[in-house]
């Protein structure tokens, strides 16, 4: 395929699964990470060296780091995958203003700025794909995850609105909304807590990062170009 895909949050469990799938499909990858360089290096060791054309480090909770990232994107970008995320567990009234600012920057302002920076070139080419990995809580809301639910809900709204604005220019904007996926983000749960969650899921299991990656693959395919402004649930019926 040879198209360039920027993966924001490539070092996470879902991000790296997406990178693995797209590498196998022949895409060229620009990989962003914050702290987990080891995961990126391991991926590069196990894949075609020509597949990764850029590795970008930035803490997207900091505005100056977001701006630095933008200056370091030197290759054309055909598609953007926003797979970065940070959970916050706790009662809303106990959340600090610093936490609020970090969650807003990472999940909302950074995607806004990155999309705005790259959108003009997509419009000129009359082609592009933008995909967000959001969350079931962005639609349903979750007690003790009010801030996370709020920012993921904002991502869903951004997807639906930008899709209408960008569609006339040949750009598709969609989101994938995972339910309970086996990732490090859920490692704070005890065995009993995980079992309680899975008992509520009709599929009777946690989802796999590869299942999210498969849906990204589907949305990037040219045959999916008429899908626009959708939030695709991957929840096992939860």
> Which residues does the annotation mark as catalytic?
148
Contacts of 50 (CB under 8 A, 6+ apart): 28
Asked if residues 145 and 88 have their Cβ atoms less than 8 Å apart, the reply is: yes
Contacts of 151 (CB under 8 A, 6+ apart): 103, 104, 106, 107, 108
> Which is nearest to 159 in space by CA: 228, 87, 216, 225?
228
In the numeric block, which tokens belong to residue 224?
Answer: 């999916």
Contacts of 181 (CB under 8 A, 6+ apart): 13, 14, 206, 207, 208, 209, 211, 212, 234
Q: Which helix (H) or strand (E) holds 4?
A: strand 4-8
> Which is nearest to 88 in space by CA: 133, 148, 142, 155?
148
């Amino acid at each position: 395929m040879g198209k360039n895909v920027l993966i924001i949050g490539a070092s996470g469990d879902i991000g790296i699964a997406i990178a693995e799938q797209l590498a196998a499909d022949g895409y060229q990858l620009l990989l962003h990470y914050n702290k987990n360089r080891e995961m990126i290096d391991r991926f590069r060791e196990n894949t075609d060296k020509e597949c990764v054309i850029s590795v970008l480090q930035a803490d997207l909770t900091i505005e100056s780091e977001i701006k630095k990232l933008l200056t370091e994107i030197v290759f054309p970008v055909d598609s953007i995958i926003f797979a970065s995320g940070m959970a916050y567990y706790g009662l809303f009234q106990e959340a600090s203003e610093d936490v609020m600012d970090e969650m807003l920057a990472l999940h909302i302002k950074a995607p806004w700025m990155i999309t705005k920076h790259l959108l003009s070139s997509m419009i000129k080419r009359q082609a592009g794909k933008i995909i967000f990995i959001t969350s079931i809580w962005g639609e349903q809301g979750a007690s003790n995850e009010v801030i996370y639910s709020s920012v993921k809900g904002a991502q869903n709204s951004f997807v639906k609105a930008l899709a209408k604005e960008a569609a006339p220019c040949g750009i598709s904007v969609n989101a994938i909304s995972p339910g309970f996926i086996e990732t490090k983000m859920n490692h704070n749960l005890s065995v009993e807590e995980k079992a309680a969650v899975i008992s509520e899921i009709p599929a009777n299991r946690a989802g796999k990062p590869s299942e999210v990656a498969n849906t990204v693959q589907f949305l990037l395919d040219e045959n999916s170009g008429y899908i626009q402004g959708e939030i695709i649930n991957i929840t096992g019926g939860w």
